[in-house]
């Protein structure tokens, strides 16, 4: 599973919009059985949103897609 996640790294994050005083939306793709990764991702976004030294006027929102394990083509289709 770790190899699959490393292989998919370029597709994990997608930045949709970046503007001053804006909302930045990112997406993540996780295998369905990666509940801990899902929680770590949510916590990281929350920590970024609370840190005014990193994001002064922007806020991050996110969406998460869960895919079936051991099917890398599903991840590419979702990305």
Helix (H) or strand (E) holding 35: helix 35-50
* Coil vs helix vs strand at 57: coil
pTM for the full predicted model: 0.62
* pLDDT at residue 25, rounded to an integer: 92
Q: pLDDT (tens digit, 9 = 90+) per residue, 38-54?
A: 899 999 999 999 988 88
Helix (H, G, I), strand (E, B) or coil at 73: helix
Which segments of the chain have a pLDDT < 50?
1-20
At a CB cut-off of 8 Å and minimum separation 6, what does 26 contact?
13, 14, 15, 16, 45, 60, 61, 62, 63
């Amino acid at each position: 599973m770790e190899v699959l996640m490393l292989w998919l790294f370029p597709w994990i994050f997608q930045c949709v919009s970046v503007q001053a005083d804006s909302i930045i939306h990112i997406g993540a793709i996780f295998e369905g059985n990666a509940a801990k990764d899902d929680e770590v991702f949510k916590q990281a976004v929350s920590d970024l949103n609370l840190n005014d030294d990193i994001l002064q006027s922007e806020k991050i929102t996110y969406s998460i897609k869960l895919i079936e394990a051991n099917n890398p083509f599903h991840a590419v289709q979702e990305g």
